[in-house]
């Protein structure tokens, strides 16, 4: 019997070519944001503290953010075809972003791929500044803003074989929880260093090929 698959994809740098947060901070954030990012990567700051601090420094209207995202962010060219192929097979594809709902929705709308099931942190505006709400904060993981391990474990409990695709520092808990992980960039290096099993990939075509090879498709 074939596995009942669910594909969970990180958003920034995985489904997109650029990172929405990096583009926003380069354009509208305080110049010190790269220092905050270093502190998150080194573990000095939690992901949640880092995001709050970085977004708190952003001076832009919602319209300015949407405008920037619509023009600067490209969807990875192999993703739309992959999504279509999975949908044709009845396999759910869910985006789990360590970034913001506004970014996921704006980019997917622009690419003609909205609506798509997605979990993300919420970006809220109050008194002209941006705040981050973490609706998916985990009770078991203090480090992550949006712990991607929790939804993966929930899907596993529901009987899914969960495939996770990711590239970054917010993807570590998911990489450990998934039945099969595809990794690149920072996540790939971390998996190798920590001896977390994962398959290196470059495009979504590589992922479809590997799933076929395993006869999961």
> Which residues lie near Mg ion (CB under 5 A)?
10, 12-13, 167-168
CB of 204 to Zn ion, least distance (A): 24
- Are residues 163 and 182 in contact, defined by beta-carbon separation less than 8 angstroms? yes
Selected range binding Zn ion among 41-49, 58-66, 98-106, 133-141, rule: CB under 5 A:
133-141
**Helices 101-110, 20-28: inter-axial angle, 10-degree rounding:** 110
Among positions 3, 8, 68, 147, the unique one binding Zn ion when judged by CB under 5 A: 147
CB of 164 to Zn ion, least distance (A): 13
Among positions 141, 196, 199, 217, the unique one binding Zn ion when judged by CB under 5 A: 141
**Cα–Cα dist 10/13, whole Å:** 8
Contact of residue 12 among Mg ion, Zn ion, none (CB under 5-8 Å per partner type): Mg ion
Contact of residue 168 among Mg ion, Zn ion, none (CB under 5-8 Å per partner type): Mg ion
- Are residues 61 and 102 in contact, defined by beta-carbon separation less than 8 angstroms? no
Task: Report the residue number, 167 or 198, with the smaller CB distance to Mg ion.
Answer: 167
Task: Report the residue number, 3 or 54, with the smaller CB distance to Mg ion.
Answer: 54
Burial of 90 (0-12, 13-18, 19+ CB in 10 A): exposed
- Are residues 11 and 165 in contact, defined by beta-carbon separation less than 8 angstroms? no
Q: How crowded is residue 81: how many other Cβ atoms within 10 Å of its Cβ? A: 13
- Rg of the chain on CA atoms, in Å: 17
Q: Does 119 bind Zn ion (CB under 5 A)?
A: no
Q: Does 144 bind Zn ion (CB under 5 A)?
A: yes
CB of 168 to Mg ion, least distance (A): 4
Size of the site for Zn ion (CB under 5 A): 5
């Amino acid at each position: 019997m074939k596995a009942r698959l669910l594909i969970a994809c990180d958003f920034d740098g995985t489904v997109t070519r650029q990172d929405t947060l990096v583009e926003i901070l380069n354009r509208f954030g305080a110049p010190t944001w790269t220092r905050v990012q270093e502190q998150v990567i080194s573990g000095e700051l939690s992901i949640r503290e880092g995001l709050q601090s970085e977004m708190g420094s952003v001076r832009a209207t919602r319209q300015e953010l949407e405008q920037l995202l619509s023009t600067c962010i490209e969807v990875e060219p192999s993703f739309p075809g992959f999504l279509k192929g999975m949908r044709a097979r009845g396999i759910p594809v869910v985006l789990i972003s360590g970034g913001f709902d506004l970014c996921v929705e704006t980019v997917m709308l622009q690419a003609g791929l909205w609506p798509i099931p997605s979990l993300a942190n919420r970006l809220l505006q109050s008194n002209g500044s941006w705040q981050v709400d973490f609706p998916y904060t985990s009770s078991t993981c203090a480090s992550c803003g949006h712990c991607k391990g929790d939804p993966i474990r929930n899907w596993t409990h529901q009987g899914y074989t969960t495939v996770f695709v990711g590239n970054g520092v917010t993807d570590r808990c998911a990489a450990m929880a998934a039945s099969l992980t595809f990794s690149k960039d920072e996540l790939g290096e971390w998996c190798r260093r920590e001896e977390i099993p994962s398959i290196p990939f470059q495009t979504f075509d590589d992922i479809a090929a590997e799933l076929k090879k395993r006869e999961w498709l």
